[in-house]
Every structure is written in structure tokens, then in C-alpha cells.
Amino acid sequence: MAIEFTKYHGLGNDFILIDNRSSLTPVITPEKAVKLCDRHFGIGADGVIFALPGQNGTDYTMRIFNSDGSEPEMCGNGIRCLAVFLTELEGVSRTKDFYTIHTLAGTITPQLTDDGQVKVDMGQPRLLAQEIPTTLAPTDSKVINVPLEVADHTWNVTCVSMGNPHCITFVNDVAAIPLESIGPKFEHHSVFPQRTNTEFIEIVNRNYLKMRVWERGAGITLACGTGACASLVAGVLNDKCDRTAIIELPGGELEIEWSEVDNKIYMTGPAERVFAGKF
């Protein structure tokens, strides 16, 4: 039976979206997702996202398989794409401009803005070593500016969970980082039992940061929404940036705010439909 899909991207972080609203079980396996994500022999994408029925009173559930077939807890660019995909699926029956989405990282709420972007309530960052998870510090301690040996170099890292793990390090020149060779060494480092996403951040000023990312399960991508949120938190914890900043990624810019009022992270950025098809 043919399965319909729609391709979306958020700042070049691209996804195959599948309407899975009739069942809580994804209609394809992780192995099939790996094949579909292949950029030479498949559709090509950083991941496959499923729009499933809501759980625990939410409107919908999001599940995602990375391009290596692993299942992350959350995806920031992906949930913006999912929000726009849901408006496409609902069509004229749509009654509101926000959705509550059940994810493995808790309930996340994307809202469509008047200028065509999506603002997402990403929830609160988790900072304890056991929440990342990492063995870089005692389980109930924060991991802020801690030395980590990778590729014969000591990197001072800060770890933040946005539901999924992030290891952030500040560098002078983000363009000079050999991502392809060192990214996998961070991802598979023994101090990260569930592997990690890794963000390299250059501070331009307190409200403008440049970021490059090596994603767990996907490698180099043009943007990472949860990574941008985690990086802003790391910047604040290290007193390198304010609580609101633009994060410049290879695929474009995200606006990130860490609210002092509710301790939540708000991410605003685009989500664009590319094409639709069947396989």
C-alpha cells in the first residue's frame, strides 16, 4: 500500500512528515526510515516525523526517527514543521492557531504567528547531570564549564537537556571547527550513555550567537532547534549572553528566549513545505 508523505524543512533541517493520525504505531519501521532519509537512494532527510493521535489530553503526538533510525525525545525544527503540516491536514476544519503536542520530552506547544512563523513553548531546560544524562558530574549537579577530553584537546563543556541531550562548547571561530571528524567523538563519548548532540558556539555579542551542530543520529545538519535552545541556556549559565538572543545557524536564524517568568524556553522560526509524494 502506498504511503503519502510531505517534505518540510526548518532552516534546512529537513523532514519527511507522515499523517499517522489513525494509529499510535508509526506506519513505517526505523529501518525503513533510514532508507527514506538516504540522500542518494531515498527521498533524503534528517529524519521522519509522524503526526499521531493525542495522548494525555493533548491534540496530537509527535514521534520522530533520526536518519540513523534512532528515536529522539524531541525535535525543535521538526515540531515547527509538524505544526504547519497539521494545519495542512486539518484544512478548513482547523479551529485554533496552536497545538498541544505529546512528545517523549513532555507536552510541547507550537503556535502559528501572524507573520507565518511558528513560536514554540519548548518547556523548561533540565540541567542536572542525571537528566542529560552524563557522568561528567555527580548525578544531582549541573554541568557548567566542565573540562572534557576529545580528540587530544580539552573542551570546556556545558550540558543541557531539552528532553534530548546537548553538550555545548564555546569557541572563538565556529567556522574553523572540524565538525565531521570531532562530532562523532563527542556523540559517542563514554561520558554520554545515551550519546549526545553537540553545539559549537561563537559569541558575536550578548544577543547574537553563531552555532554549528553535530546531531546525535543525524550528523551535521543545517540547524537544530533544541540545540539552539540549549545553547542559549548554556550561554546564560556561563554569563556569555542575555536571556533573549538570535542564534545564527548555517540554514538561517532562530530567535530564542529563556523566560524569567516561567523558566521556559520559547523558540521562534520558520517551517516550510517543500513537496509531497508517495512511496
Ligand X SMILES: N[C@@H](CCC[C@H](N)C(=O)O)C(=O)O
Task: List all residues 6 or more positions away from 110 whose beta carbon is below 8 Å from its beta carbon.
Answer: 79, 80, 82, 83, 98, 99, 101, 118, 119, 120, 121
If one asks whether residue 83 binds ligand X (CB under 6 A), the answer comes out as no
Among 76, 110, 123, 270, binds ligand X (CB under 6 A): 76
If one asks whether residue 224 binds ligand X (CB under 6 A), the answer comes out as yes
The residue behind cell 503556535 is 111
Among 72, 133, 235, 270, binds ligand X (CB under 6 A): 72
Give the catalytic positions in this structure: 75, 224
If one asks whether residue 231 binds ligand X (CB under 6 A), the answer comes out as no
Among 217, 251, 269, 270, binds ligand X (CB under 6 A): 217
User: Of 206 and 273, which has the nearer Cβ to ligand X?
Assistant: 273
Strand (E) positions, the chain?
A: 4-10, 13-19, 47-53, 60-66, 101-103, 106-112, 118-121, 146-150, 153-161, 165-170, 197-205, 208-215, 219-220, 244-249, 252-258, 265-269, 272-278
If one asks whether residue 237 binds ligand X (CB under 6 A), the answer comes out as no
If one asks whether residue 134 binds ligand X (CB under 6 A), the answer comes out as no
Give helix 76-90 / helix 225-237 axis angle, nearest 10°: 140
CB of 61 to ligand X, least distance (A): 16
User: Of 148 and 195, which has the nearer Cβ to ligand X?
Assistant: 195
The residue behind cell 550540558 is 159
CB of 92 to ligand X, least distance (A): 30
Strand (E) positions, 152-196?
A: 153-161, 165-170
Write out the binding residues.
13, 66, 76-77, 164, 197, 215-216, 225-226
The interface region with ligand X, picked from 82-90, 92-100, 151-159, 212-220 by CB under 6 A, is 212-220
If one asks whether residue 110 binds ligand X (CB under 6 A), the answer comes out as no
If one asks whether residue 226 binds ligand X (CB under 6 A), the answer comes out as yes
Euclidean distance between CA atoms 36 and 57, whole angstroms: 32
The interface region with ligand X, picked from 74-82, 93-101, 102-110, 268-276 by CB under 6 A, is 74-82
Identify the bridge partners of residue 47 per DSSP, sorted by sequence position: 15, 66
Contacts to ligand X from residues 251-270, by CB under 6 A: none
CB of 236 to ligand X, least distance (A): 19
If one asks whether residue 216 binds ligand X (CB under 6 A), the answer comes out as yes
Joined grid coordinates for residue 258:
529563556
CA dihedral 264, 175, 239, 156 (to 10 degrees): 100
Contact assessment for residue 244 and residue 257, using Cβ atoms and an 8 Å cutoff: yes
10 Å CB burial of residue 6 (0-12, 13-18, 19+) is buried
Write out the binding residues for substrate.
13, 66, 76-77, 164, 197, 215-216, 225-226
Report the interface residues with ligand X, using CB under 6 A.
13, 66, 72, 75-78, 164, 197, 215-218, 221, 224-227
